[in-house]
Structure 1
Amino acid sequence: MVTSSETPVHPDSRRDADDDHVSPSDIAVGVVIGRTSEFFDFFVFAIAAVIVFPARLFPFVDPLTGTLLSFFMVLLAFVARPIGTAIFMMIDRRHGRVTKLTLALFLMGTSTVAMGLVPSYAVLGEWAIVVMALLRIGQGLALGGSWDGLASLLALSVPKEKRGFYAMIPQLGAPIGLIVAALLFAYLVSNLSAEDFLDWGWRYPFFVAFSVNVVALFARLRIVASPEFQEAFESRELQPSGIRESFRADGRSIALGAVVPLASFAMFHMVTVFPLSWVFLYTDETLTFFLNLTAVSAAFGLISIVLSGYLSDWLGRRRMLLWGAIAIGVFSLLAPLLLQGGKTGETIYMILGFVILGLSFGQSSGAVASLFNKRNRYTDSAFASAFGWLFGAGLAPLTALYLSTTLGLFAAGLYLLSGAVATVISLWIIRQLEFQN
């Protein structure tokens, strides 16, 4: 008779301890690929909103009004994102993370590629605007559903003393996506006539975005669908919880999580979409020059994001966010002078802005994760991110361009300053809450 302790185990059923270990590097790869695809989609649409849509979708108004209407379309995705988060969170609870992610990225890809097929206003009339707006909403819903929890898993899978470094990894997708999008548009603008570019050349970046989404889908599914990662999500309580339950238990924390990164998110658009629109509308700079400048400046931002990881492990993540908000506040006062300073001023504006953005944006993710209820951390983080992008970034290009054209560039600077002030106040509130606890 064989006792339980002597029960033979088939060699194939044995697992080495290392096989169950979820490597932070594996998580990091999935996070970077996913974020790069999302930001590439965003920047393709945002750049087109400045240099394509005013002429193709809104030819019946002046260029400024056409750009403002295009920026309203940019905003639509951010409004739809929290709704998408709610819809896909229910799908996640009922059918699993793999199903949710597949449906979300399929919606993202089809919405994006369909944008490249939309006829102009001259061909389809007002329906061209309606179709593009619906597709933009589809992108926003998909963006809410593309939250896969890998960023949170990454933060919880590394030693505490290295969390600042690993916290910046998801943010690398933003400058990478911008660099690729800006260079792609710069190439098309410089190698096609204005007529050919507005007729068919602008469509190619949207088709490329679809291809990037397909690659990102398979890369992320390979990671998220593995048993090891499913186990890691469960062991760290990164499972979808009820939306009402999450807001009832952690509504205040979700609100703080949305407000803390406002300075970074507002700055995000103040050095990407807004200056492109201002230069395109009100200066004689060539579009190719400024798109290339944007790509070079984003490279500085990429380096700055990496640097933020090392600095935050030394100084602390929230201290980095505080000093970043202060730097953004100072920059907001200098920005109007720089943006009106010709090529030299524009170059300083972009490079300095991206360096400051990188130091702050690199640590803006998960700064208040410790305030979330463990049971609701996955859902709380998704909604905090969705609302943060809506109020911090979605409104930025539309508001900044409107204020700068009606009141002057200083008003856009004051708008950016308000985001910095909101971040400082929210960090102070978090500190007081922690003292009370």
Structure 2
Amino acid sequence: MSETVSEAKVALHVDPATAKKVAIAALVGTALEWYDFFLFTTAAALVFNVQYFVSGDPLVATMQSFGTLAVGFVARPIGGLIFGHMGDRIGRKRTLMITIVGIGIVTGLIGLLPNYFSIGLAAPIMLILLRVLQGLAVGGEWSGAVTIAVEHAPIEQRARFAAMPQIGSPIGTLLSSGGFFLVALFFSQETFDSWGWRIPFLLAIPLLLISILIRRSLTESPIFNEILEAGESESAPIKQVLKTSPLQILVGLSAALLGVGGFYLVTTFMISYGTQQLGLSSQLMLLGTVIAAAIEIPVLILGGRLGERFGASKVAIVGGIVSAVLAFPTFMMVESRNPVLVVLAMSIAVAALSMPYAVSGTILTGLFPAKLRYSGVAIASNLAGMISGFVPLIATALLAAAGEKFWPAALMLVVISLITMSAGIFSPRLSINEKGLKH
């Protein structure tokens, strides 16, 4: 009996109500994950270059700040290895409880960290260390959430349920950017730079407690339980994935790249570009991010339904093409400095890349057998995350090299979009659940 057939048999006994409950619990956890992670990305564009990296050249300070942002993404693959191994060995639920606690605590500590003017060089060093710890914990969170959501779902509806954890991304963006927006709105710029920015970070602690209460209701994956009962779990899942599935890792990485790297390009980088090069207010750029995130939620739901009906790979292909076509027009709209066009541009760009992002969880979980799934998805998604972490830094460097012209950033978005499109082309040939996932 093949593992795919075994998964299909287990899926016949899936309770739709339980599947929905698990998907919502996974969504809540990923919302906190992205809230915490997006807080850092927004703060890297607005605050850390002033509070922790002191330089006479604003561009150098910004690049140092984005470098710290990238460090967290470098740590993510390491976290993926650690927690991927745990997820395939001790279970999805137990691993997810560990990752969510780690993320929340580290974020709260960042909110308490003294700045450069208080403790000198120790401040940026400690910020980098906390960012590394945050990256390690995040490295095991999304991969576990999408895995447990998929493994509780009927096979023919996996695209729908795999899109649920993705909704945590715009919710996290709404909470983080919305929090920064409100603080910036009600406090002066001086107060915001001094201590107001800490408030959203400190709110991670009560949000963590809520997430723990909800996530405790998770039940372990029935497919993982079956693997344990059959004695088929891998003793070294990471080694096995790297040995047997290098092509799947590459395709999975490509499938996830636009949803993460493209998103950071049209939010984090665009916030920095808009405020520092175009002279736009931080309130306007944060408002654009908030509205774009609000629009992203129904787009992700739609993307999941389209993936269920037409196949995840087709949605990734079309979404990648649309995102590439819209890259230059959206950057040109931001370049206009017209507030309405700026917000509209950010919303359009995020909506376009959210279609392939909606089905990336379906594609990634379909590339790996259940006994290696957590590890495989963690490695592929976190490699994509690591590359994505350097996108704002690279875009800022190219911006400087091009005389502060926007076209290199727009070209980067085109390239990233086409890479994800290519994943949609190749993924059906590698999926272990080709019929169930309707590629």
Specify if TM > 0.5: yes
Structure 1 counterpart of 2:271: 276
Which amino acid is 2:390 matched to? L
Q: Does 1:344 align with 2:340?
A: yes
Structure 1 counterpart of 2:376: 380
Q: Deviations over 1:24-66 (max 9, x none)?
A: 1111111110110000001111111111111111222322221
Structure 2 counterpart of 1:222: 217
Aligned-pair CA distance for 1:337:
1.3
Structure 1 counterpart of 2:205: 210
SS in 1 for 2:363: coil
Assess, with a 3 A threshold, how the Cα gap between structure 1 residues 151 and 80 changes in structure 2: closer, same or farther.
same
Contact 1:183-1:291 at 8 Å conserved across structures: yes
Which amino acid is 1:379 matched to? S
Aligned CA-pair RMSD: 2.7
Q: Does 1:411 align with 2:408?
A: yes
Contact 1:153-1:236 at 8 Å conserved across structures: no
Residues of 1 paired with 2:85 and 2:379: CA distance? Answer: 13
Aligned-pair CA distance for 1:195:
2.1
Deviates more, 1:370-379 or 1:76-85: 370-379
Assess, with a 3 A threshold, how the Cα gap between structure 1 residues 152 and 230 changes in structure 2: closer, same or farther.
closer
TM score, norm. by length of structure 2 = 0.87
Q: Deviations over 1:371-412 (max 9, x none)?
A: 323431222122122112222x21221112221232221111
Which of 298, 306, 319 is the equivalent residue of 1:303?
298
Residues of 2 paired with 1:288 and 1:424: CA distance? Answer: 33
Q: Does 1:389 align with 2:385?
A: yes
Deviates more, 1:91-100 or 1:254-263: 91-100
Structure 2 counterpart of 1:426: 423
Structure 1 counterpart of 2:54: 59
Aligned-pair CA distance for 1:427:
3.2
Structure 2 counterpart of 1:10: none
Contact 2:300-2:354 at 8 Å conserved across structures: yes
Q: Does 1:201 align with 2:196?
A: yes
Q: Deviations over 1:77-136 (max 9, x none)?
A: 111011112223455567655554444333322221111111111121111110000000
Structure 1 counterpart of 2:6: none
Assess, with a 3 A threshold, how the Cα gap between structure 1 residues 101 and 319 changes in structure 2: closer, same or farther.
closer
Contact 2:223-2:370 at 8 Å conserved across structures: no
Aligned-pair CA distance for 1:418:
1.4
Contact 1:241-1:376 at 8 Å conserved across structures: no
Residues of 2 paired with 1:355 and 1:113: CA distance? Answer: 30
Contact 2:49-2:62 at 8 Å conserved across structures: yes
Deviates more, 1:156-165 or 1:54-63: 156-165
Deviates more, 1:96-105 or 1:378-387: 96-105
Structure 2 counterpart of 1:178: 173
Contact 2:47-2:193 at 8 Å conserved across structures: yes
Matches within 5 A, 1:144-183: 144-146=139-141, 149-183=144-178
Query: Percentage identity across aligned positions?
Result: 28
Aligned-pair CA distance for 1:232:
4.7
Residues of 2 paired with 1:196 and 1:175: CA distance? Answer: 27
Residues of 2 paired with 1:230 and 1:264: CA distance? Answer: 26
Contact 2:145-2:165 at 8 Å conserved across structures: no
Contact 1:241-1:378 at 8 Å conserved across structures: no
Larger radius of gyration: 1
Residues of 2 paired with 1:326 and 1:50: CA distance? Answer: 29
Aligned-pair CA distance for 1:192:
1.3
Residues of 1 paired with 2:30 and 2:92: CA distance? Answer: 17
Q: Deviations over 1:414-435 (max 9, x none)?
A: 1111112222333333455679
Structure 2 counterpart of 1:261: 256
Matches within 5 A, 1:101-120: 101-120=96-115
Residues of 1 paired with 2:14 and 2:310: CA distance? Answer: 35
Matches within 5 A, 1:75-86: 75-86=70-81
Segments of 5+ residues of structure 1 without an aligned counterpart are 1-16
What is the aligned residue count? 415
Residues of 2 paired with 1:368 and 1:105: CA distance? Answer: 21
Which amino acid is 1:372 matched to? F
Contact 2:159-2:362 at 8 Å conserved across structures: no
Assess, with a 3 A threshold, how the Cα gap between structure 1 residues 66 and 240 changes in structure 2: closer, same or farther.
farther
Deviates more, 1:398-407 or 1:137-146: 398-407
Contact 2:264-2:391 at 8 Å conserved across structures: yes
Structure 1 counterpart of 2:4: none
Residues of 1 paired with 2:430 and 2:145: CA distance? Answer: 28
Structure 1 counterpart of 2:136: 141
SS in 1 for 2:56: coil
SS in 2 for 1:283: coil
SS in 2 for 1:372: coil
Structure 2 counterpart of 1:369: 365
SS in 1 for 2:54: coil
Q: Does 1:355 align with 2:346?
A: no
Which amino acid is 1:389 matched to? G
Q: Deviations over 1:308-362 (max 9, x none)?
A: 1222223221100000010111122323312201123312211211221222211
Which amino acid is 1:382 matched to? A
SS in 2 for 1:355: helix
Contact 1:271-1:350 at 8 Å conserved across structures: yes
Residues of 2 paired with 1:261 and 1:132: CA distance? Answer: 27
Residues of 1 paired with 2:16 and 2:279: CA distance? Answer: 56
Assess, with a 3 A threshold, how the Cα gap between structure 1 residues 57 and 240 changes in structure 2: closer, same or farther.
farther
Q: Does 1:326 align with 2:326?
A: no
SS in 2 for 1:261: helix
TM score, norm. by length of structure 1 = 0.87
Residues of 2 paired with 1:163 and 1:148: CA distance? Answer: 15
Which of 225, 231, 255 is the equivalent residue of 1:234?
225
Which of 8, 20, 26 is the equivalent residue of 1:25?
20
Which amino acid is 1:306 matched to? I
Contact 2:96-2:141 at 8 Å conserved across structures: yes
